[in-house]
Amino acid sequence: MKSVVVYTDGACKGNPGPGGWGAVLRYNGTEKQLCGGEPGTTNNRMELTAAIQALEQLREPCQVLLHTDSTYVMKGLTEWLPGWKRRAWRTADGKAVKNQDLWQLLDAACARHQIEWRWVKGHAGDPGNELADQLANKGCLQAGARVGAG
């Protein structure tokens, strides 16, 4: 099974507002950089989208070391998701889970891989996280430009 190292990040100018996501995938000495954005979104949606987009790039089951600076994404996948699924996508207090559409996509994207989640402190000098942040901000700028052009 291939071992892939992934860094993901999301950004938003305003919350909601123009947002972007970035991902860096590293395998066997090669690196792939991805980014994109949406004109009206939230930071949490962009954090989720970054992880989804990164995992969907993998054409076969892999061992993935996925770095994120989002405790929302990390805790959602490693702690909250089983309960949400048991409660038909409701939180412990009975409210609908926010961003359910993206959580379901991320859950499906994770299913075929062996993933080790690693939280990294954002803006603290981790080179992979800093690059993912730059890519997320690039996506954010592109989404903002589309807003202005509309």
Q: Could you list the residues known to form a binding site, using ranges.
A: 9, 47, 69, 133
Residue 10 bears catalytic tag:
yes
Q: What are phi and psi of 107, to 5 degrees?
A: -60, -45
User: Of 19, 20, 47, 144, which is the active-site residue?
Assistant: 47
Q: What residue numbers does the annotated binding site for Mg(2+) cover?
A: 9, 47, 69, 133
Closest CA relative to residue 139, chosen from 7, 10, 1, 8 = 10
Q: At what angle do helices 43-56 and 127-149 cross, to 10 degrees?
A: 110
Residue 58's alpha-carbon distances to 4, 64, 97, in angstroms, are: 9, 10, 27
User: Of 20, 133, 139, 144, which is the active-site residue?
Assistant: 133
Residue 83 bears catalytic tag:
no
Bridge partner residues of 24 (DSSP): 7, 33
Amino acid at 67: H
User: Of 69, 76, 113, 139, which is the active-site residue?
Assistant: 69
Per this entry, what is the length of the chain?
Answer: 150
Q: Left, alpha or beta for 129 (phi > 0: left; psi -120 to 50: alpha)?
A: alpha
Residue 133 bears catalytic tag:
yes
Residue 123 bears catalytic tag:
yes
- Six-digit token pair at 12? 């938003």
Residue 101 bears catalytic tag:
no
Q: Which residues are marked as active site?
A: 9-10, 47, 69, 123, 133
